[in-house]
Structures are given as structure tokens and as C-alpha cells.
Amino acid sequence: MDLKELTVKKLQQGLAEREFSAREVTDEFLKSIETKDGEIGAYLSVFNDEARKDAAAVDRKIASGERPSGLSGVPFALKDNMLVEGAKTTAASKILENYVASYDGTVVTKLKQGGAIILGKTNMDEFAMGSSTENSAFQKTKNPRDLERVPGGSSGGSAAAVAAGEALVALGSDTGGSIRQPAAFCGVVGMKPTYGTVSRSGLIAMASSLDQIGPFTKTVEDAEEVFRGITGRDPLDATSVEYHYESIEPEDARNLTVGLPKEYFISGLSEEVEKGVQSAIEKFKKLGVRFKEISLPHTKYALSCYYIVMPAEVSSNLARFDGIRYSRNVEAGTLHDLYLKNRGEGFGAEVRRRILLGTFVLSAGYYDAYYAKAQKVRRLIADDFDAVFEDVDVVLTPTTPTGPFKFGERSGDPIQMYLSDVFTIPANMAGIPAIAIPVEGDKKLPIGFQLMGKHFEEDKLFALGKLYESN
């Protein structure tokens, strides 16, 4: 048995039946990291001793008669913008390269309380700003399916870790597609929950009204199990909500109506992606799922709207990195010099670009012309979704317009890079749940399709995804 090929459900069964121990599973994944990650570069730090210690604790509980459940014994990787007490949390930025977290983020607390094993922290675009993980201040992460290509971003390290068998499950954060896009590029499942279902406490903020934590997994069933384990109201996050998730049977998904928005099947969509998504649609049709053409007319404004709202929130959130708190210990004669040296040298080019853009759209004389107008358009985008969900249960689209691109292919053109998220951004603007699922049977580069649902109707997304996988 190759322990790296386990799913969460099979892991739980194997632990309960004493086919293997949590320590053996953990050792297998740590060995995989040791042998593979020098080439792939998914991890920024690995918690060898802590992981083995936590695995031994799970084994002791099982030996005492406690039956494993939920996420107990499951080896996790965490994107390096989630705080783990006593561990470095860099957000892949030089400005935080020596920062050690003083507390656990809420999702980390939930994982630890559930008996999950945290293997380490994964690489990402600096402060989650990017679509290729090329913006990390420390290293480039390679796509396990083709080492000459990017794994997507900003959660590229987490996606690559699951795809390469260096973690059973990983968590990422999704602000405009940063879970779903790399999931599609690496051929794994990636899920962005409804805004507010998962606490953001202990997540280094990028754009607070858009950020959401979610899982990377091998299967939709595993994504559902992880989602169940990390949701819930948190007094430390005022935007979080009380949410008791209940699943529905995959067979019941045959009764759902799926919408196909004409605005997503447009010129610019690569032939391979269109063919792959159409094959998924045909498979659903054979399973009895009904389809209906719909329109989301304000979709064409989503990308432009996002690149006003997001940088505005970035400029505010990153103002805290002033050279005094989270200091890089730079020498400066004046306070002005301190700011210049700390922020000018600590932030990478993409982060500086977004701070400048965000400061501009919030400045006097431009606020109403840009930021206020973008917020009004954001409302129209959300209204579009509310309207179509009166007629359909779920919306199906491509996840990305193309497959994974090669290193350097888009890094010189920010606009081309931003277009990688053109199909994922609307879900963040509306705050609705969305999941990226790989197209089965593809022998070339990975391709994914996306399912989007109403607020707090993750159950329909998971049911449809499980129906697709099980047939």
C-alpha cells in the first residue's frame, strides 16, 4: 500500500482497523517531502519533529480505544500566511522573513484540536498577490505535472504539495481565485467557501472583504470533510457566521439544474480548456443533470472592479508594515528613511504595484471616480448571481481560460497575468462558494471546471462534484 495515495476517508478507516499508524503515514509524507521538494519547492518550512510528535499522540489515543474521526491523523500543509504559534510565518515576503507567530490562527487551532498533523508551511506569491507563485521572495514552486510550468497562485505551494504527494491535504487562501486557479493548474480539487463560513483570524490579510480560507484535496469528498472541520462562528472574526454544514447524497444531485453562463464561454478560452469543460458537461448530462443557458451580464466588469477594490484594501492592510512593528532591523537616520528602507526593500515589485494603485484609487479626488464606483458595480455582480439562482441551483464554468503556462511567460505583463483569474474573481466579489474540479481522463496538462453556488449552499457543490467523481 502506498500511504501517499490515501484519501481522508481511507486514512480514517485504516487507522481504525490498525492497518497502519498515524506515525507511519506522517513519516511517509515527510520522506516524500525530503526526496521530492528540492525539485518542486512547495514548502518554505517543514515541521519534522512536531509532526512526528503529533502523530504519536494520535496513535496513543487510538491505542486507548478512541476511534479516529474527522481530520484526526490527516497530514496537512498550510499556506505560509496562516499563523502557527512558534513557527515562522513569512507570507513569502522579505519584510516578514524573521517573523515568528505568537499564536495559532483559528483554523490552525481547529486542526490541532481535531488531531490533524501539520507538516509545514507552503510557498506562495508574496502576501498572496499573484497567479503563478513567481512573486515569492524566496523560491519558485514548480508544477508537479510539468516542471517547466507554474503551479498557479497565489497558493501554488499548497496545490503543488497535494499534487506531488507531499501532503494529503493543504489549506490555501482565495481572494480572487488563489485556491481554484492553482488547483486547476495542478490537477487537484480546490474549494473557496462562502465568505464568513471559515474564520480569517490568524490569516495575514490581503483584502479583508474578499479573503477566504479553503482546502486543496485529491477528491471532492475529502474537500467536504475538511470544510466540515474548519467552519464555524469565531468571536475573533466579526465577519464569521455560525454554520452547521449538512451534506446531501450525490444521487440527489441528479435533480439539480446547472446554469451555463454565456459570458464565460468566450473568445480567449483555449481550445484544450473548452474541450475539457465540454467533456465534463457531457458527462453530467449522461448522469441526468439538467442544464440551462443563463446570463451574468456584469461579469465583464468583474476583473476591472476587482483590481480597484482589492488594491484599495491591500494598501490599508499593508500599512501596518511600517518598519517599527514586524521590524527588519534596518538602520536608518530618520523615520522617513526607516519607512523607505523597510518598505522599499522589504516588499517585492508586485506588492509595491498594488499598494501604489490602491493608494491612488483611495486618494482625494479619485475615491468617487474609482473605489466608490467599483463598489456599486460589485453590488451589481452579486445581484446577477442572486437573479440566476432563482432559476438554477449551480453555475458551471471553466476555472481558468488556459492551462498552466511556462515560467516567465506572463511575468513581464501584469495584465496577462491578471487575466488568469478572470473566471474565478466573480465568486469572490459576490462572496459565494465555488469549487474547482479536475477534468478526468486528461492525459496532457491539467484542466479544471468550476462550480459556483448560492451563499451557504456548499452541499450542492459537493454533491455534484461527488456525483461526477463516482461515475
- Which range is least confidently modeled, 27-36, 253-262, 332-341, 361-370? 332-341
Cβ atoms 374, 308 nearer than 8 A: yes
Q: Are 355 and 363 in contact (CB under 8 A)?
A: no
Rounded Cα distance between 409 and 241, Å, is 41
Find the mean pLDDT for residues 263-292. 94
Strand-pairing partners, residue 170, are 77, 216
Residue 198, CA distances (Å) to 54, 138, 194 in order:
24, 28, 8
CATH topology of domain 3-230: Amidase signature (AS) enzymes (3.90.1300)
Q: For the CA atoms of 257, 451, 147, 122, what is the dihedral angle to 10 degrees?
A: -150
Beta strand 290-294 pairing with 257-261: parallel
pLDDT band at 444 (very low <50, low <70, confident <90, very high): confident
User: 50 and 28 in contact (C-beta within 8 Å)?
Assistant: no
Place of cell 448571481: 385
d(CA 51, CA 120): 8
Burial label for 27, CB within 10 Å (0-12, 13-18, 19+), is middle
Distance CA 220, CA 452 (A): 14
CA distance 10 to 218: 12
Take residue 90 and report the three cell numbers written for it: 513569512
Summarize the confidence of residues 24-38 as an average pLDDT.
98
pTM of the model: 0.97
Residue 393, C-beta contacts closer than 8 angstroms, at least 6 positions apart: 256, 257, 258, 453, 454, 457, 460
Catalytic residue among 178, 199, 201, 411: 178
Instruction: Kindly name the residue from 72, 93, 132, 154 that is annotated as catalytic.
Output: 154
> Catalytic annotation on 275?
no
- Predicted local confidence at residue 69, as pLDDT: 87
Whether the Cβ atoms of residue 83 and residue 57 lie closer than 8 Å to each other: no
> pLDDT-based confidence at 237, cuts 50/70/90?
very high
Question: Taking each helix axis from N to C terminus, what angle separates 458-470 and 271-286, rounded to the nearest 10 degrees?
Answer: 90
3-state class of 166 per DSSP?
A: coil
Query: Catalytic site residue 178?
Result: yes
Reply yes or no on whether 154 is catalytic: yes
Question: With 80 as the cut, is the pLDDT of residue 328 above it?
Answer: no
pLDDT at 327 over 80: no
Is the pLDDT reported for residue 453 higher than 70? yes
For 224, the enclosing helix (H) or strand (E) is helix 220-230
Catalytic residue among 79, 110, 121, 454: 79
What is the tens place of the pLDDT at every residue in 136-147? 999 999 999 999
pLDDT interval class at 411 (50, 70, 90): confident
> Model confidence over 113-131: pLDDT tens digits?
999 999 999 999 999 999 9
Q: What whole-number percentage of the chain has pLDDT above 90?
A: 91
What are the sequence ranges of the domains in the chain?
3-230
Model confidence pLDDT, tens digit, residues 190-232: 999 999 999 999 999 999 999 999 999 999 999 999 999 999 9
Mean model confidence pLDDT for the chain: 96
What local confidence, expressed as pLDDT, does residue 443 receive?
A: 60
Q: How confident is the model at residue 412 (pLDDT cuts 50, 70, 90)?
A: confident
Element (H or E) spanning 462, and its range? helix 458-470
pLDDT of residue 442 exceeding 60, the answer is no
The neighbouring-strand residues paired with 75 are 117
